[in-house]
């Protein structure tokens, strides 16, 4: 601050001295130039009659005219030049006319040809000095026949100007020395209170609002210090309130499950909350100031926000946005300031799971309705047939009742599996962790399904190594897993097919593989086979072959046992289901 005031004072003094010196030098120079012009003009008009007469008397003896011009030029200490109407020099007091070029282009000569007084100041290439020229026309019979030009060097004026600048430079040095002393004292007196205010401002900017500025004279700086101290107190109170409000806002934004993103009127990101960063795998620091399309790359969201920016009215819409996978968002966009159109805020609620649950509910109702409709239709049809008189034939009656019994068993099995699946899908469902002999459970499952295997003529290969340790789980749950996998292999393998059940020791797990050479599963269907009511269709496979809930049950049971399940399949060549269960320890 002190340096700036000192420098400003010195610059002001220097500029003032420079302007004054330049003005004085310019005024003196202009005065002498004007005086010289007037003197030349007077001389020109004084000698013009004499030279006009000489020209008229000695038209054929130019040598005598040149002599007269030289003598006259010496007497009046002035260069005299006579130029004809074509620009040719016919006489010159200081140079041989034959050595001079045409003067028709000289500005003063051109002006004299027009009947005016021509004046010019320029460097003379012939005399090697700066000259002042004044030219007037010489008339014959009222017509311009010649031009008389007088010229004198102005070196004395330039010398005078240089002397003035020397004097000015000396005076400036003395003035600057005085200004230096005055500026030093003045700047110290002025800057001391200001420096104290500046120091206090720095401390306040660092959060120290308790610092006070001393009240020092003069009166103006004392008023400044008092105002600054009051401002610091008010600022401390305002900052405290702002911090409190900011903390509240940050807490609200951080606790929001919904994503929030704010843009300015040009659709550039100005803020986002943590939920947005988490949902879209982005960081606020890397996205601030970027266009919305650069950040989220979703045209539909961009158009929705643009619509709100243009209409200044809130809007909501359901939009699909690709994050690390496709997600569905319910987005509500409102303008930040309807009057000034400062931008817009979009609140994005992820409803992907809700939509999935709605679809699952819809699919579940549809599938259950479909599964129950078929047996109920059969039961209803056969019951009507019996009522119509078919009961009178014992053979027909037994046949219809067997079918009704099969369809009733099918519905009972479906309902039981639904209830079982519902129970194991509950969050609080847990399976007791006990040692289970996996080979024993496989043998039990084979015995239960042996009749089905024999009916279809399958060749069953069991690869059960000895001395296997137990797996962790519950025998009923493990049995349910193996029965479902083996039952599927039987159903989806044509008669006379091969089925292999193999147990392997894999470090911390024991795996059970059920492989068949049945109809196989298409690659695009592999992700869906563990869903409810999904059934593979193929030759010899009917809708009555199962409920479509078996693999869904298997998947939930395996996950409850902290195990893993995988499948490999080729259409027309067979499938291999592999379940890995943790060893008991």
Dist. CA 133–CA 120, nearest whole Å: 5
pLDDT tens track for 32-56: 788 888 888 888 888 888 888 888 7
The verdict on residue 560 lying in a domain is yes
**Per-residue pLDDT at 581:** 92
Same domain, 417 and 502: no
The verdict on residue 78 lying in a domain is yes
What are the two backbone dihedrals, phi and then psi, of residue 127, each rounded to the nearest 5 degrees?
-100, -5
Same domain, 347 and 359: no
Among 109-118, 170-179, 335-344, the range with the most confident prediction by mean pLDDT is: 109-118
The pLDDT of residue 332 is above 90 = yes
| Mean pLDDT of the 200-206 span | 74
**Per-residue pLDDT at 368:** 64
Question: Which residue has better confidence, 558 or 396?
Answer: 558
The verdict on residue 218 lying in a domain is no
Specify the DSSP element, H or E, that contains 317.
strand 315-322
Q: Concatenate the DSSP letters of all residues of 40-87 into one string.
A: HHHHHHHHHHHHHHHHHHTTT-HHHHHHHHHHHHHHHT-EEEEEETTS
Tokens 């034939």, located at residue: 393
The verdict on residue 224 lying in a domain is no
The verdict on residue 60 lying in a domain is yes
Residue ranges in 456-474 assigned as alpha helix (H): none
Ramachandran region, residue 132 (left: φ > 0; alpha: ψ -120 to 50; beta: rest): beta
**Total count of domains within the chain:** 4
The verdict on residue 240 lying in a domain is no
Same domain, 295 and 315: yes
Same domain, 387 and 325: no
Domain ranges, residue 542: 430-582
The verdict on residue 474 lying in a domain is yes
Joined together, the tokens standing for residue 255 give 């606790």
Among 91-95, 323-327, 342-346, the range with the most confident prediction by mean pLDDT is: 342-346
**Per-residue pLDDT at 323:** 74
**Per-residue pLDDT at 137:** 93
What are the two backbone dihedrals, phi and then psi, of residue 335, each rounded to the nearest 5 degrees?
-70, 150
| Mean pLDDT of the 439-443 span | 91
Joined together, the tokens standing for residue 490 give 């039987």
Tokens 């519905």, located at residue: 411
In the three-class reduction of DSSP (H, G, I as helix; E, B as strand; rest coil), residue 473 is classed as strand
**Per-residue pLDDT at 513:** 92
Same domain, 341 and 438: no
pLDDT tens track for 359-395: 766 666 666 666 666 677 777 877 887 777 777 777 7
Q: What percent of the chain is predicted at pLDDT more than 90?
A: 10
Dist. CA 437–CA 470, nearest whole Å: 5
**Per-residue pLDDT at 540:** 47
> Mean pLDDT score of the chain, rounded to an integer?
80
Same domain, 437 and 420: no
Q: What percent of the chain is predicted at pLDDT more than 70?
A: 84
Query: Is the distance from CB of 460 to CB of 490 less than 8 angstroms?
Result: no
565: closest CA among 522, 521, 512? 512
**Per-residue pLDDT at 126:** 67
Instruction: Establish how many alpha carbons lie within 13 A of residue 483's alpha carbon, considering only the half-sphere containing its beta carbon.
Output: 17
Joined together, the tokens standing for residue 308 give 């709100």
Question: Which residue has better confidence, 118 or 528?
Answer: 118
What are the two backbone dihedrals, phi and then psi, of residue 290, each rounded to the nearest 5 degrees?
-85, 155
Dist. CA 376–CA 61, nearest whole Å: 149
The verdict on residue 244 lying in a domain is no
Tokens 């147990």, located at residue: 503
Q: Which of 308, 325, 352 is the last residue of a domain?
A: 352
CATH code of the domain covering residue 575: 3.30.565.10
- Tell me the pLDDT band of 140, cut-offs 50, 70 and 90: confident
| Mean pLDDT of the 77-92 span | 88
Question: Which residue has better confidence, 335 or 187?
Answer: 335
327: closest CA among 298, 295, 294, 303? 298
The pLDDT of residue 59 is above 70 = no
Dist. CA 7–CA 77, nearest whole Å: 52
440: closest CA among 476, 404, 387? 476
pTM exceeds cut of 0.85 = no
Query: Is the distance from CB of 306 to CB of 233 less than 8 angstroms?
Result: no
Q: Which of 116, 144, 160 is the last residue of a domain?
A: 160
Same domain, 12 and 68: yes
- Tell me the pLDDT band of 543, cut-offs 50, 70 and 90: very low
Question: Which residue has better confidence, 229 or 331?
Answer: 331
Question: Which residue has better confidence, 333 or 196?
Answer: 333
Dist. CA 232–CA 200, nearest whole Å: 9
């Amino acid at each position: 601050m002190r340096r700036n005031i000192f420098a400003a004072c010195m610059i002001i003094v220097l500029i003032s001295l420079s302007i004054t010196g330049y003005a004085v030098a310019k005024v003196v120079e202009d005065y002498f130039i004007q005086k010289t012009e007037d003197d030349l003009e007077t001389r020109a008009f004084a000698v013009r009659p004499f030279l006009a007469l000489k020209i008229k008397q000695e038209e054929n003896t130019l040598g005598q005219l040149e002599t007269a011009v030289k003598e006259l030029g010496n007497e009046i200490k002035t260069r005299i030049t006579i130029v004809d109407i074509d620009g040719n020099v016919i006489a010159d007091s200081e140079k041989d006319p034959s050595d001079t070029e045409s003067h028709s282009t000289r500005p003063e000569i051109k002006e004299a040809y027009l009947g005016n007084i021509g004046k010019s100041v320029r460097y003379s290439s012939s005399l090697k000095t700066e000259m002042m020229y004044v030219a007037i026309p010489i008339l014959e019979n009222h017509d311009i026949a010649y031009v008389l030009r007088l010229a004198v060097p102005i070196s004395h004026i330039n010398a005078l100007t240089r002397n003035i600048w020397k004097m000015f430079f000396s005076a400036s040095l003395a003035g600057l020395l005085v200004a230096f002393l005055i500026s030093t004292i003045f700047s110290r007196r002025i800057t001391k209170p200001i420096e104290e205010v500046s120091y206090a401002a720095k401390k306040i900017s660092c959060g120290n609002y308790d610092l006070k500025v001393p009240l020092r004279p003069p009166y103006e700086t004392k008023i400044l210090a008092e105002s600054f101290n009051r401002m610091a107190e008010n600022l401390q109170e305002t900052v405290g309130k702002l911090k409190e409000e900011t903390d509240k806002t940050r807490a609200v934004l951080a606790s929001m499950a919904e994503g929030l993103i704010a843009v300015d009127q040009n659709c550039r990101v100005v803020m986002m909350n943590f939920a947005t960063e988490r949902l879209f795998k982005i960081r606020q620091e890397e996205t601030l100031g970027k266009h919305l399309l650069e950040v989220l790359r979703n045209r539909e969201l961009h158009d929705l926000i643009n619509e709100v920016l243009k209409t200044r009215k809130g809007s909501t819409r359901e939009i699909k946005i690709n994050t690390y996978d496709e997600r569905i968002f319910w987005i509500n966009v409102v303008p930040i300031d309807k009057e000034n159109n400062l931008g817009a805020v979009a609140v994005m609620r992820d409803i992907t799971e809700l939509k999935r649950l709605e679809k699952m509910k819809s699919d579940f109702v549809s599938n259950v309705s479909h599964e129950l409709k078929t047996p109920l239709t059969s039961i209803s049809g056969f019951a009507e047939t019996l009522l119509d008189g078919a009961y009178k034939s014992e053979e027909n009656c037994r046949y219809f009742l067997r079918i009704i019994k099969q369809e009733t068993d099918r519905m009972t099995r479906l309902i039981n599996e639904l209830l079982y699946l519902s129970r194991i899908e509950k969050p609080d469902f847990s399976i007791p962790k006990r040692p289970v002999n996996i080979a024993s459970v496989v043998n039990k499952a084979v015995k239960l399904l042996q009749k089905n295997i024999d009916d279809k003529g399958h060749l069953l290969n069991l690869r059960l190594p000895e001395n296997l340790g137990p797996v962790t789980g519950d025998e009923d749950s493990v049995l349910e897993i193996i029965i479902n996998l083996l039952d599927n292999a039987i159903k989806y393998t044509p008669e006379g097919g091969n089925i292999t059940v193999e147990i392997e020791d894999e470090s911390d797990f024991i795996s059970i593989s059920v492989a068949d050479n049945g109809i196989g599963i298409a690659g695009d269907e592999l992700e869906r086979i563990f869903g409810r009511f999904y059934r593979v269709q193929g030759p010899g496979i009917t809708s009555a072959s199962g409920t479509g809930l078996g693999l869904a049950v298997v998947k939930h049971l395996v996950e409850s046992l902290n195990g893993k399940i995988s499948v490999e399949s080729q259409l027309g060549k067979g499938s291999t289901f592999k379940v890995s269960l943790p060893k008991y320890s």
